[in-house]
Structure 1
Amino acid sequence: MRLNNYPVHSSLDEDSHLEDGWVETGEFDHEGSHTFALDCEFCQAKSGPVLTRVSMVNFQNEVIYDTFVKPEEEITDYVTRYSGITAEALKDVTTTAQDVQKKILELVSSSDILIGHSLESDLNVMKIRHPNIIDTALIYDHNQGPPLKPGLRSLAAQHLNRKIQQGEQTGEGHSSVEDLRACLDLVKMKLLNGPGFGKVIRETTLFEKLYELLPSKRSVIIDFSPEIYGHDLGERVNLEKFTVVNDDEVVETLERELESSTLAFIRFKEVDFNSGVVQVPSRFTGKLYSELDENRKSAILTGENRNDCLKSLNNRLQKVYDQLPVGCVFVVCNEGGDTMELTQLQGVRKRFRQLERKQVKLSDIPPEDCWDFDKQTALKRACVEASNGFTFATVITDDNSE
């Protein structure tokens, strides 16, 4: 659960501390369904996303709870296109987030099952911990395979032949009841068709190919989340996985394991975790160049900080290179191009649209916050840059100078 940023219930970790404002489900007997689907809608406040609607259905697809929620903070953006929430809808609402917590704890026992799509986001904003989760973003695969996660709309279209979230096009926004019913039906489809349903057919990995040809040769994966490569992969081949918490530990672990390994896959993440795009796991102990926001994302790296971060990556790659024996093949590749400018420009566009909705005069908006032709052109260029990848390969030679 921690791997996917879920809050951890005390029944799974008795040492987990329940912070102020948080609650967790308790064990109790009740009649009726013991499986529920949950979905929430959020609007944007100054501090981040705030709860504005919560809906639940039971396993029979009956709505058992559906309420709008009045946030304590002032809403800065209703994001109606996605949330379906308007100022009019919340005008006479008195239900608070604390009321929602109390109601869910009355409906759901800790032994019950909660179904949702990327439900960790909902539970973290609601500040509720629950131990038994079925997440359709995890039990189904993205068409390109993990670690990418599938969107609910694409899953509904592909497996249920159902169009959902059409309100994005009309401006009416999502319906939380529509979304959670899609989640529930996807779980039922999974139960009917078996655990392999909705999973991408795997191609043979390098680790499996090596084991097939040379079963005595050992492979290692050194990564922040090695579980994404499959929990059973190490059981099928001669492979050991190592979990690290910073990029320096990647280098140190490789140095320790290199002599006894034929194939090593390692991944550095410090640049990603400072990109402003990737959610930074709490266990990361490497260098961060800014404070994290409420979604555990950093600010976008610029200037000297960006140069320093990239220089650190180059130094670590050099240390890896210097460790490798003669005859070793060293391959370096990235997962895509530089997304920092893209993320920055997308932020400018988003803020400008928020100001437009508030009918702020164009003359009152600073030039750096205005969205114009030049920024639109730069955004297109940044999209191309973000889609570019690279791969470098070399063979280590005697003089180590290649």
Structure 2
Amino acid sequence: MEDSSDTSLKRSKPHDEDDEGWETVERSSKKNKKAKKIPPKESSNYPSITFNYNAKLQSKIALDHLRNLILYIFAEGVSPQWVSISHRPQFRKIVALMVPGLEEAMFKQDVDFATYNDPRIDCIDPAARVLTSPDDYYPRLLKKDELPDILKDFADMFPHLWPVRTPGSERFGNMRSPLGTILTAPAEKPKEEKGKKGVQPAKEPKGWKDERTRVTEFLAMPEDFQQNGYVLHPACLPAERRKDFVWPDGWVHTGVENFEDGDVPEEEIEQGSVTAGREVLALDCEMCMTGQDEYSLTRISLVSWDGTVVLDELVRPDKPILDYVTRFSGITEEMLAPVTTTLRDIQAKLLTILHPRTILVGHSLESDLKALQLSHPFIIDTAILFPHNRGPPLKNSLKFLAQRFLKREIQKSVAGHDSIEDAKACLDLVKQKCEKGKSWGNHESQGENLFRRLHRAGKAYRANGGADATGGINVGKTSAMVDWGDPMRGAGAASTFPIGCKSDDEVVMGVQRALHGDPMAEQIPVGGVDFIFARFRELEVLQGWWNRNRSGNDGVSDVLSPPDLSELSLETCLRNLTQRIKYIYDSLPPCTAFIVFSGSGDPREMSRLQAMQAQYKKEYNAPGSNWDDLSVKWTDREDQALRKAVGIARNGIGFIGVK
């Protein structure tokens, strides 16, 4: 393989002129300051990363540990306890390769690659792909004579195979994005906040720029309705299904024929208006218990965009109240004694208030709408807008969001919640999101892009930064993301040189460019960049994992569809992969940390069950649904199967070495 300058390079110069608001620290320009020579490999001060045999691991290392290792070597961070790092200042470069599809069982000596993906074998024991037991947290020593022939080169590059866990939750049936995890550095806590307990107010990451956004950009989509238990409005359904739409008894829906009915012509929208010509109303309801696990509406509040109370009424349920749950609802028997307003009265009022251009705002609004027995297609749910940092189905409470993002205490009264107070909190959260932009409030926004962190806080030492670098100074580390598709569409946009590719061979060529630079320094300077992140994908395609190990929008730079590799055998694919990784390893300059990791285990069964669960929720929450008519049924059996599948998907592997 030879270097090529044909690989797509998306940025013509390192970082934008204003550096996207991030502080840039220039390298020393003193001509008389020279970096020290690279130490010989046999010398006593050559850098190394070795397994710490004194470490008492309580669990498998996580993807976060690999990311934090990169940060510790090149920026700031706590020294890892699971490995010993010697002569950190001597490291010149770090290269990290993500290889989805690589599994621990492939490194078993007698593995038969011809039958490795036989579905009949998977059905017998899908967990057989993981050799180490769940309680075996320690790395496995790589012995060349105990590896398959096509993978023996791994023993020349790395001393150990590490079991690596991907963030997620078996209990909640989800797995976090491996790519998002590795490329998002944790937010640095200000010194004054360290050690503080309780909810801390959200702060803008360094270099944050507000992006004023129309409120219509935050509308829940049909898939959000399905995933969060909303009853679908007919306007959300395909035209051919609307004629057969049957409402359950007591339910009403707003007069919206088509989803497009809410659109406002651009000429009618006031310039700079975030409401985009729409009427925005915040809704909150209080409920009391009228049966076992049954709650009925007892108060409804509607608040307009300017904070005006549009509607605030108490409601007498049709059924007798068994428990007023006053500590939460704020409703007492005395309050409802003179009330004659019924649910039907409230429904009639809402149908006159809500129109096709109305947007309803609320927190976990599906509960309020079920209590109202009403459906509306234009919803903004703050529980979706500000996702839990551990992913769905977990949701942040409104009280937490108010504390963190509004610096406001709500729901403190011993007399119970105030629906007007809660509605105004939802409204203010949406207003804040409109002013700050789509990324605000996402858990990634409370972290920092890894490329930006290294560029902002990368350190040099006397060993590689000259005499001025005594003790470590901020110089900023240059970087490259080499990936299939367009890295500019995702996290790679923050790298100094995003390099787009169309094959694994192009990824190898892109890594070579990033390592050594262009011959005439046309774009990448001679000597290359400090940190390189690259991803191989052909094994991922062949394994059938393509795009299935993602959860949510993690900024992945994808091409439209995977290539056709049907003629390629698994053995040939692994042989090619090993040769590519070995080629990169052989071309690494001295004092380079080299990390290879899979990102996850096999996500296929997890993805299948998650799709099945989504279909079940879609059918179950449809008006007039009947259990016997469901095409998919979700029971404890399926729930347990999903938990097991998530556990398998979270079991990845990694390799760590130094050239």
Instruction: Using structure 1 for the length normalisation, give the TM-score.
Output: 0.57
Instruction: Tell me the amino acid that sits aligned with residue 18 of structure 1.
Output: W
Distance 1:63 1:177 in 2: 8
Distance (Å, rounded) in 1 between the aligned partners of 2:640 and 2:305:
51
The alpha carbon displacement at 1:218 in A equals 2.7
**Cα displacement (A) at 1:115:** 0.3
Provide the rounded CA distance (Å) in 1 between the counterparts of 2:318 and 2:377.
28
Aligned-partner residue type, residue 159 of structure 1: F
Q: 2:538 aligned to 207, 212, 216, which one?
A: 216
Deviations 1:65-109 (Å, cap 9, x if unpaired)?
000000000111111111101111100100100111111111110
Aligned to 1:156: 402
- C-alpha separation in 1, matches of 2:392 and 2:639: 29
**What is the aligned counterpart of 1:200 among 443, 451, 454?**
443
Give, in whole Å, the separation in 2 of the partners of 1:333 and 1:41.
42
Report how far residue 267 of structure 1 moved: 2.5
Residues 238 and 213 (structure 1 numbering): CA distance in 2 closer, same or farther, change over 3 Å?
Answer: farther
Q: Equivalent residue for 1:229?
A: 551
1:18 aligns with 2:356: no
**SS of residue paired to 1:49:** strand
- Residue in structure 2 matched with residue 80 of structure 1 by the alignment: 326
Tell me, in whole angstroms, the C-alpha distance in 2 between the residues paired with 1:24 and 1:68.
Answer: 21
1:4 corresponds to: 228
Deviation for aligned residue 1:4: 1.4
Following superposition, the deviation at residue 49 of structure 1 comes to 0.8
2:617 aligns with one of 257, 271, 281: 281
Aligned to 2:286: 41
Answer yes or no: is the 8 Å Cα contact 2:301–2:419 preserved in 1: yes
CA change 1:141–1:71 in 2 (3 A) is same
Shift of 1:8: 1.3
Q: 1:264 to 1:115 in 2, by over 3 A?
A: same
CA contact (8 A) 2:282 2:302 kept: yes
SS across alignment from 1:165:
coil
Counterparts of 1:2-401 in structure 2, within 5 Å, are 2-13=226-237, 14=239, 15=242, 16-27=245-256, 34-46=279-291, 48-167=294-413, 170=414, 172-201=415-444, 212-218=534-540, 229-231=551-553, 236=558, 264-265=602-603, 266-267=605-606, 281=617, 283=619, 309=637, 313=641, 332=647
Contact 2:254 2:354 in 1 (8 A): yes
Deviation at 1:333, TM superposition (A): 5.6
Matches of 2:556 and 2:428 in 1, distance apart?
A: 33
Alpha-carbon spacing, 1:222–1:123, altered in 2? closer, same or farther (3 Å): farther
Question: Mind listing any 5+ residue stretches in structure 2 that lack a counterpart?
Answer: 1-224, 263-276, 451-483, 485-490, 493-503, 508-533, 563-569, 575-597, 621-626, 654-659
Partners of 2:392 and 2:289 in 1: CA distance? 30
| Conserved? CA contact 1:118–1:137, under 8 Å | yes
Q: Which has the higher contact order (CA 8 A, sep 6+)?
A: 2
> Could you tell me how far apart the structure 1 residues matched to 2:638 and 2:228 are?
27
Superimposed CA distance per residue, residues 274-305 of structure 1 (whole angstroms, 9 cap, x where no aligned partner)? 9xxxxx72548xxxxxx99xxxx999x7xxxx
Following superposition, the deviation at residue 216 of structure 1 comes to 3.0
Task: Give the corresponding residue for 1:254.
Answer: none
- Give the secondary structure class of the aligned counterpart of 1:141: coil
Q: Cα–Cα, structure 1 residues 11 and 85, in superposed 2: closer, same or farther, change >3 Å?
A: same
8 Å contact kept, 2:316–2:343 = yes
* Offset of residue 213 of structure 1: 2.6
Deviation at 1:230, TM superposition (A): 1.3
* Alpha-carbon shift at residue 5 of structure 1 (Å): 1.3
* Residues 228 and 117 (structure 1), Cα distance of their counterparts in 2 relative to 1, 3 Å cut: farther
SS at match of 2:283: strand
Give the C-alpha shift of residue 62 in structure 1.
Answer: 0.3
Q: What is the distance in 2 between the residues matched to 1:393 and 1:228?
A: 14
| Structure 2: distance between partners of 1:148 and 1:312 | 18
Preserved CA contact (<8 Å) 2:328 2:417: yes
Paired letter, 1:142: H
Per the alignment, residue 364 of structure 1 pairs with none
Following superposition, the deviation at residue 22 of structure 1 comes to: 1.0
Query: Does the 8 Å contact 2:251/2:374 carry over to 1?
Result: yes
Which letter maps to 2:647? V
In structure 2, how many angstroms separate the alpha carbons of the residues matched to 1:34 and 1:311?
A: 41
Higher share of residues assigned helix: 1
* Percent of residue pairs identical: 36
Q: Matched residue of 2:231: which SS? A: coil
Query: Which amino acid counterpart does residue 235 of structure 2 have in structure 1?
Result: S
Q: Is the 8 Å Cα contact of residues 278 and 359 (structure 2) preserved in structure 1?
A: no
- TM-score scaled by length of structure 2: 0.36
Q: Which amino acid aligns with 1:36?
A: L
C-alpha distance 155-218 of structure 1, shift in aligned 2 (>3 A): same
Q: Deviations over 1:163-194 (max 9, x none)?
A: 00102xx2x11000000000000000001111
Secondary structure (helix, strand or coil) at the match of 1:36 reads strand
1:38 aligns to what SS in structure 2? strand
1:158 is displaced (CA, Å) by 0.6
Cα deviation 1:179-213 (Å, max 9, x = unaligned): 00000000000011111111111789xx9999933
Partners in 2 of 1:142 and 1:78 — Cα distance? 30
- Residue aligning to 2:458: none
Is the 1:145–1:200 Cα contact (8 Å) retained in structure 2?
Answer: no
Tell me the amino acid that sits aligned with residue 193 of structure 1: K
Please state whether the residue corresponding to 1:229 is helix, strand or coil: coil
Which ranges in structure 1 are unaligned for 5 or more consecutive residues?
241-257, 275-279, 285-290, 302-308, 321-330, 335-390, 395-402
Note if contact 1:38-1:56 (Cα within 8 Å) is conserved in structure 2: yes
Q: Distance in 2 between matches of 1:192 and 1:165?
A: 25
